[in-house]
Amino acid sequence: MARGSSWVNATIRIAKAIESDSRRATNAAIRQHNAQIRYQQRLLREQERLLREQERANKQALMEKFLEEKEDAIQYAADKTIESENQRNILLALLKNAETTKISFSWNQFKQDDKFSDTKPTQPKFKDYPREINLEEYEPKLGLLDKLSKKRGNKKIQIAHETLQKDKDFRENEVLKINAQNDIITREYKIKYDSWNAKKNEFEQKQKDYNESIDKQEELFNKNEQKYIEVYFDAIINSLRLPEELITSWIVSYDKPSKILVIDYDLPDREVIPTLKSMKYISTRKEFTETVLKEKEIDGFYDKMNYQLCLRISHDLYLSDINDQLIAIIFNGIYYGINKGTGIEETKCIMSLQTKKAEFVEINIQNVDAKTCFLKFKGISGAKLFEYVPVAPILQFNKEDDRFVEGKSIKGMINGTNIASMDWEDFEHLIREVFEKEFAVNGSEIKITQASRDGGVDAVMFDPDPIRGGKYIIQAKRYTNVVGVSAVRDLYGTLMNEGAVKGILVTTANYGADSYEFAKDKPITLINGSNLLHMLQNHGYNARIDIEEAKKTLSEIN
């Protein structure tokens, strides 16, 4: 029993020991598992902490970026507001920024000084020749045995000679090949060089011819040749220090006898005026808001700008009159655009100003009010330029009419005749006839007066229109010199005596500045030779005007 009990106890102890070990292993496993869970939890908390820090950093960065962008946006809006205001101020400061001293101009600015740009062909690289034969290198080296044995020595000498000859032959063949290759290279280079040199010579000759033509133009300008006076003043306008958007297009015409310069200038579009009044940045919506000028304000800017432009160009041209070739300037402001009522493109004169140099240079251009000054010189325009009301130009040349020439002789009567030298009675009859055709279609009646040479009434027209109608007096002057103001005064006197509503004076020549000055605020229309030719052409007359030829013909007759 005792032995059995001892065995049982031992068994129990063993079982307990095993159970204890099992518990320890289990507990160790649990502890290890729990440690892993706590490690994972620590990692997760660390990741969450890092994410929170990153989110805070991102929010901070976004806030800083927003604040920076906001500041940039606010500054941008402020800059755009100031820029627009400054641009408007520049457009309205044309007179304040006007030149006060003579404008320098050099014909040399038209000259070409460019260098020929094509690259000169580089000198060719020739093939190298093989080096020269050095005879010393082919001398046989004879030793003691070679000297003792004649046969042996001769053999060495023979081999040396054969080697020398072989190398000589090889070199000669190589030289022939290289010579042939170098000849090809030389020919190819010569072809390239000759072509380059010919182009260079042609370029330089054209440049020389062109520059000599500029010198010739300057010479003719100084000799008061009409064409080159026009070229000169055209260049002056092109070089004026005006805002770029105001430099449009123009036609310059010069009448040498009267020394009148006519500028038909395309006025800038209304759209050149910056309309932005203010710009602001709304940070809560992250967008810009703009306020713009009212239409009435834009209209006011447009009128002020064009009145200043008219005076500024006239002013600068007078300052550029280095040879005293101007007595007067007529500025015709031309509008080209769409008629909003018809949708059709229109070209019409909306302002016309004649100034006389002697009077204009006395004003202080920087202190005048543009429109007041325009009216002081009796400029013609609608009450508001932005309404584009057409007005009759004080003077406008027909530059496209190639029949108005100097020194070109074409004989004939009416068809092809030089009406500046035709019989005065025939001329008056021609004028009456063409006006009859011009106005009879409108229901007007032309009463022909007896032809006379006394400067009286040549024709009377009665226009039945209840608004524009009335009695018109027409006078014809077949002149070869500038028509003086006295003739215009005489017409005005006749106009008053006859009780007429309008007087029309027609000449083959042109009118002086005083004539246009006298007529521009009176019911008088002055038709010069260019205008007359246009009327004749419209009614099928093929005539021409050649003043110089007429002077010569009339002097021979007299």
Domain at 433, CATH number: 3.40.1350.10
Pair 424, 455 in one domain? yes
Do 269 and 326 share a domain, yes or no?
yes
Residue 23, domain member (yes or no): no
- Tell me which of 60-74, 297-311, 342-356, 439-453 is least confident: 439-453
| Residue pLDDT, tens place only, 376-393 | 999 999 889 988 888 888
Are residues 486 and 432 part of one domain?
Answer: yes
Over the stretch 49-97, which tens digit does the pLDDT of each residue have?
Answer: 788 788 777 766 666 565 567 788 888 888 889 999 999 999 999 999 8
Residue 382 falls inside a structural domain: yes
What local confidence, expressed as pLDDT, does residue 64 receive?
Answer: 59
pLDDT tens figures, 409-440:
323 356 778 888 887 777 887 887 888 788 76
User: Is residue 122 classed as helix, strand or coil in its secondary structure?
Assistant: coil
Give 466 or 453, the one with higher predicted confidence: 466
Residue 94 lies in a domain: yes
Quick one: 352 and 411 in the same domain? no
Q: What is the mean pLDDT of the chain?
A: 83
Asked if the structure places residue 189 within a domain, the reply is: yes
Q: Which amino acid is at 372?
A: T
Arithmetic mean of pLDDT, 112-140: 87
Question: End of a domain among 196, 222, 248?
Answer: 222
Q: What percent of the chain has pLDDT over 90?
A: 37
Residues 412 and 540 in one domain: yes
> Of 369, 397, 425, which one is at a domain's C-terminal end?
397
CA distances from 50 to 43, 56, 57, 60, 65 (A): 10, 10, 10, 15, 22
Kindly state whether residues 393 and 542 are assigned to the same domain: no
pTM: 0.63
Task: Please state which of the ranges 11-15, 70-74, 254-258 shows the lowest mean pLDDT.
Answer: 11-15
- Helix H, strand E, coil C: the string for 348-371 is EEEEEEEEEHHHHCCCCCCCCCHH
Residue 140 lies in a domain: yes
Tokens 């408007």, residue located: 88
The whole domain housing 266 covers 31-103+240-397
Q: How confident is the model at residue 159 (pLDDT cuts 50, 70, 90)?
A: confident
Percent of the chain with pLDDT over 70: 85
Considering the domain architecture, whether residues 250 and 353 belong to the same structural domain is answered as yes
Kindly tell me if the per-residue pLDDT of 544 is higher than 70.
yes
Q: Which residue has the higher pLDDT, 285 or 1?
A: 285
Q: Do 296 and 344 fall into the same domain? A: yes
Which ranges in 149-225 belong to alpha helices (H)? 150-222
Cα angle: 532, vertex 349, 340; to 5 degrees? 130
Q: Specify the number of domains making up the chain.
A: 3
Question: Based on the domain organization, do 301 and 264 belong to the same domain?
Answer: yes
Same structural domain for residues 370 and 477? no
Domain boundary among 363, 397, 431: 397
Position 119 in a domain:
no
Contact 526, 515 (CB under 8 A): yes
Whether 215 is in a domain gets the answer: yes
41 pLDDT above the threshold of 60: yes
Q: Do 386 and 409 fall into the same domain?
A: no
- Domain membership of residue 259 (yes or no) is yes
Domain shared by 261 and 384, yes or no: yes
For the ranges 52-56, 403-407, 469-473, 550-554, the maximum mean pLDDT occurs at: 550-554
Residue 1 has pLDDT above 90, yes or no: no
